[in-house]
Structure 1
Amino acid sequence: MEVEWPPAQEPSTQRVWREVLRPIAGEMRSVAADLAERAVARMREELPELFPDAQNVAETLASVEAGLRLFAQVLELGADPRGMELPPPTLALAKSVVRRHIALADVMRLYRLAQERVWLWVFDRIAATTRDAAEQAVAAELGTRWIFAFADAAMLRAEQAYEVEREAWQSSATAARAAAIEEILDGRERDGQRASTRLRYEVNRHHIGVIAWAESVPDSGDALEALTESIAELARTVSAESILSHPLGSLAMAAWVSRRSAFTATDLDALGPRRDRHTVAPGVDIALGEPGRALDGFRRTHFEAAHARRVASMVLSRREALTRYQEIAVAALGTADRDHALAFVTRVLGPLAADDETTYRLAMTLAVYLDENFSRLRAAERLTVHPNTVTYRVHQAEALLGRSISTETLALRVALELLPTLPGLTQSRPTEL
């Protein structure tokens, strides 16, 4: 295989590329996901304000991993890194950061942090795979030049993509709509008629706030189609007459569905059982606020949907496809201070807060039993089990608590409401690098 990049075409450097750098490139492809996580952890440490939620982390991870795999491919082939083109996840991220009003300087800082992480990893692998000092020096110089050439090309193309997207965004109706939404949510826009004109969406109606998101980037590199489809299906299910959508990045979208008449409990029940995914596309999760009217309702239902999304994200694998604020309002209030919530739940529940399915089933049975005012018959009906099963589980839960459930009932009920969020409350912080 001939080397295309001029600095590696000399016989001595070509041998180092073939015997040292090319095997390292193959190794990089196998550890790209782990290396991307380390790089993004470093980014989150340096620029935490750019990662407000899991979707921003996921889209950055996808972009960094795609970039690492591309770099490994270029190095393995001996290709000229200056001729690379950005992969789809990186182009999607470039669009996302413009829509999130992230400065280009911050984007370039992310690239430099990734470059630093790659250089350290490559240098470490060079040191580990060759003992000859002269060969090591040539490999370090050649690898460094390759990394810098690749990073320069990547940053140039990212800057071009950013500028093209920003120009299109700033001149589009979407940007004007985004600015209007921001002013409404901030409380600066108080005129419903003017807001309706700016949004091209009637504000003086009844609304349901929606946030749809995906946890990972699909193969196509763009999750917005699936998010839009799920929101549209939800709107049809509740007989909404109009939809206002507002992307929050490449993996999340806010929306409002509205109609002239008030939404009823029957309308919301039409969304089906919480485990019924017929209104939600695979890989998509949805959070809903409660219905509200006019500007104040528009604002409030969105914030409720945001809280529902936050709680759903803490529930992790146990969450439903669709989360309503009404169902998690206590958990939303109780988890505003994460450390305080964690201490409260573990203190009140003790062994009943253990992270295994059997104990969790006992706790959830107890929660329903308390919610049904100590009625084992009504609890059994809700849980679709025999009343004796409810009695057995409640007795087991009481044994784990080490006290009667008739004492400190309010604290117990609140702790049980917060219990599903425990996985998120105890989730480890980003790795220190």
Structure 2
Amino acid sequence: MDVDHADRAAVKDSVLTAAAAMDPAATAAEVTARIVAELPELAGSRDPGPLSASVRANIDSVLHALDEDVPPTDTGLPHAALEYTRWLAQRGLPVTALVRAYRLGQAVMLPAILTHLRTMSSSDELKLLAHEWVTLWSLKQVDAVTERVIDAYEVERDLWIQGRSGARTVRVRELLADDDDVDQDAAGVEIGYRLRGVHLALTAWYPEEVIADATNLPAALIRAFASIVDSPLLVAADHHAAWGWLPVTDYAIVPRIREAAVHLAEQQDGPRFTFGTVQSGLSGFRRSHREAMALRRVAGTRAVLHAADPGVMLTALVRNDEHAARSWAETILGPLASDTEPDARMRATLQVFLRTGGSYKATAEELLLHPNSVKYRVHRAIERRGREISEDRLDVEVALRVLENADR
């Protein structure tokens, strides 16, 4: 809805009037109560003062920014909120919970303003304009402030663990290098991560061409997964790469982790990812990492790879010796492995045909071809190979996958 200059002034006056009708102390008390109820780890075991002070300071900051017409992306982090963020970082409490607390604050404060807007005697059109304006302003403001909160948390956390971060990385590497059983609880305390849980390991790295301009990778990963998992383990592998383990409390979050990785990788100069499979316990901690590392070696230019995807791990293992793997694939496929466009089309068709259980119809639907065209290509592929595929079908499928990845 277009808003001219006069309307903007009226909208601003309406929002300010509605905001002024709020009781900051009562709103702060309601937000604090919601946080204590839904995120009790943020309250503090004995002293609720830091949380209460942070909530009130943030509410006052929002009201001041509205009153002074501060752009939502320019709102600062109040001193009390900054101190509370540092307080959490020093105690190892998850920054993800802090981000959720800001969303809870928004979930209390914005409806309060909108409720006061609805009771005003302004026209319905003006109320709608004011509703849209303050909602968008609030969304942008919370996004900006939570970015600053995460940055402040990371700086303080890095300072606080500086003396033990090197030891933690060394300990993680020791756990990965040794297959012996260890006291999982004691080792978990040492590295700050629960080893008895369920894990999804990842490797992340910046491509060589963007290393010089790359941002802090662990901090970027925390932002990417902040709303999905609590207390991930992230360690620096080198100056432009990181290893990570994400605790999986519900398998339903795995697709969301995938989506977050793709979103981050698609950003300008974004990192690339490989993921292992979901595994449990210390053995799973190691196994999932090894899977992610195996994919890292064969990722090439692909932005995100998952070990759980069909055929990916098998191809990665075969491609540890790419020359030998391609030679084997050419032996299995014969002339069909030739580097020609017709052979490439026949291989692609045969691969889908085998994956769909030998269905001409399903293959045709996936490739947008006529079933007769699929049948022709499959028969020609078998002819080019020089023998039927019934006796070594698995070898054929793997060989097709090896050549598919080698051509990327």
TM (norm. structure 2) is: 0.52
Structure 1: which 5+ residue stretches go unaligned? 1-167, 425-433
Residues 181, 408 of structure 1: CA spacing in aligned structure 2 closer, same or farther, 3 A cutoff? same
* Cα distance in 1 for residues equivalent to 2:193 and 2:351: 42
In 1: Cα distance, 2:237 partner to 2:272 partner: 14
Tell me the percent identity.
29
Please report how far the alpha carbon of residue 332 of structure 1 lies from its aligned counterpart in structure 2 after TM superposition: 2.6
Partner of residue 312, structure 1: 299
Structure 1 position 416 matched with structure 2 position 400: yes
Q: What SS is found at the alignment partner of 1:335? A: helix
What is the RMSD of the two structures over their aligned residues, measured on CA atoms? 3.3
Aligned match of 1:255 = 244
Distance 2:226 2:376 in 1: 43
Residue type of the partner of 2:216? E
The size of the alignment, in residue pairs, is 244
Give the C-alpha shift of residue 287 in structure 1. Answer: 0.6
- Cα distance change on mapping 1:357 and 1:184 into 2, 3 Å: farther
Matches of 1:172 and 1:241, distance apart in 2:
23
- State the match for 1:431 in structure 2: none
Q: Out of 232, 238, 253, which is 1:267 matched to?
A: 253
C-alpha deviation, 1:399, in angstroms: 4.0
- SS at structure 2 position matched to 1:403: coil
Provide the rounded CA distance (Å) in 1 between the counterparts of 2:204 and 2:238. Answer: 11
Distance 1:387 1:297 in 2: 44
Equivalent in the alignment of 1:291: 278
Query: Residues 182 and 277 (structure 1 numbering): CA distance in 2 closer, same or farther, change over 3 Å?
Result: closer
Q: Which residue of 2 aligns with 1:427?
A: none
Matched, 1:183 2:165: no
Deviation string 1:255-311 (CA, Å, 9 cap, x unpaired) is 11114x24x2x433445689x932424453211000111211111110111112223
Q: How does 1:12-411 map to 2 (within 5 A)?
A: 172-187=163-178, 190-218=182-210, 221-225=212-216, 228-229=219-220, 232-233=223-224, 235=225, 239-259=228-248, 261-262=249-250, 264=251, 266-270=252-256, 277-280=262-265, 281-283=267-269, 284-313=271-300, 316=301, 319=302, 321-327=303-309, 328-355=312-339, 359-383=343-367, 386-411=370-395
Letter in structure 2 aligned against 1:311: V
Which protein has greater RCO, CA pairs closer than 8 Å, 6+ apart?
1
Gaps of 5+ in 2: 1-158
Match of residue 100 from structure 1 = none
Give the C-alpha shift of residue 346 in structure 1.
Answer: 1.6
Tell me, yes or no, if the aligned pair for 2:199 and 2:278 is still in contact at 8 Å.
yes
Seen in structure 2, the aligned counterparts of structure 1 residues 273 and 236 have a Cα distance that, compared at 3 Å, is closer
Q: Structure 1 residues 324 and 377 mapped into 2: Cα distance closer, same or farther (>3 Å)?
A: same
Shift, 1:205, TM fit: 1.6
Work out whether residues 212 and 231 of structure 1, in 8 Å CA contact, stay in contact via their aligned partners in 2: no
Contact map agreement 1:213 1:227 (CA 8 A) in 2: no
Give the Cα–Cα distance (whole angstroms) in 2 for the partners of residues 400 and 230 of structure 1. 48
Q: Which has the larger radius of gyration?
A: 2
Q: Which amino acid aligns with 2:199?
A: H
CA distance 1:171–1:273, shift in 2 (3 Å):
closer
